[in-house]
């Protein structure tokens, strides 16, 4: 017998195109719908989760952006034949050929922290945009699902229609691009 968080879970079912998961508990044989108001997280919790996701994503992706931008700038230098650095009578080849070389050379010449140059503006843009998008999407999706569920009989299929997440996502992205 298993112990821990998932010890009582019999099966997990999720529908394509929506974030609904239903769990059946072995002891009660009752379906748990996490979109049920009893299990919903607050907008503040949604904002905190999306903020955390934006920070982690920015920290992980910023070094890749720095390397990408340097490699793009390097292509311009290659075309102009300016890939060599003359310093103290010595000539060094400064254009790297691969992203791995770029990571190593940037870290050695400018320091490891230079891979995160530009993190501050990335966070200033990413955090509000992510919070607005995800909180708006989830709140609108739940509101539309609740309105849809009020108009149908209680014993009908509990599947969420495809248009609810589609409309919620499009509205949230439009609002986010307008506000941010």
Which one, of 60, 95, 94, 160, lies nearest residue 169 by Cα? Answer: 160
User: Which residue did the predictor score with more confidence, 47 or 73?
Assistant: 47
Cβ pair 91, 85 in contact under 8 A: yes
Q: Give CB contacts under 8 A, 24+ apart, made by 33-39.
A: 33/158, 35/142, 35/145, 35/160
How far from each other are the two terminal CA atoms of the chain, in whole angstroms?
A: 51
3-state helix, strand, coil in the chain (%, to 5): 55, 10, 30
| pLDDT reading at 172 higher than 50 | yes
Which one, of 117, 93, 97, lies nearest residue 107 by Cα? Answer: 117
Pair of tokens at residue 40: 């919903």
- Write down the pLDDT at residue 20: 45
pLDDT, the chain, mean: 77
pTM of the model: 0.66
- In tens, the pLDDT along 16-38 reads 344 444 455 555 556 666 677 77
pLDDT above 90 as % of the chain: 39
User: Which residue did the predictor score with more confidence, 153 or 7?
Assistant: 153
| pLDDT reading at 11 higher than 50 | no
Across 129-145, average pLDDT: 93
Give 157's DSSP letter. -
| pLDDT reading at 145 higher than 60 | yes
- Write down the pLDDT at residue 136: 94
| pLDDT reading at 13 higher than 50 | no
- Write down the pLDDT at residue 36: 73
Q: Residues near 138 by Cβ (< 8 Å), separated by ≥ 6?
A: 19, 46, 168
Cβ pair 10, 26 in contact under 8 A: yes
- In tens, the pLDDT along 85-136 reads 555 555 555 555 678 888 888 898 899 999 999 999 999 999 999 999 999 9
Q: How far apart are CA 137 and CA 172, in angstroms?
A: 5
């Amino acid at each position: 017998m298993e112990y821990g968080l998932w010890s009582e879970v019999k099966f997990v079912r999720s529908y394509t195109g929506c974030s609904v998961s239903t769990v059946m508990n072995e002891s009660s044989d009752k379906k748990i719908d996490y979109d049920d108001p009893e299990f919903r997280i607050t907008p503040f919790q949604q904002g905190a989760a999306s903020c955390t996701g934006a920070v982690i994503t920015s920290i992980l992706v910023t070094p890749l952006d720095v390397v990408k931008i340097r490699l793009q700038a390097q292509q311009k230098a290659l075309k102009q034949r300016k890939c060599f650095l003359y310093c103290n009578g010595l000539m060094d080849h400064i254009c790297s050929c691969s992203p791995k070389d770029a990571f190593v050379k940037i870290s050695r010449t400018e320091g490891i922290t230079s891979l995160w140059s530009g993190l501050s503006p990335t966070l200033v843009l990413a955090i509000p945009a992510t919070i607005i998008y995800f909180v708006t999407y989830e709140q609108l999706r739940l509101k539309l699902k609740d309105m849809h569920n009020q108009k149908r009989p209680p014993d009908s299929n509990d599947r969420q229609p495809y248009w609810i997440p589609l409309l919620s996502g499009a509205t949230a992205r439009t609002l986010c691009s307008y506000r941010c």
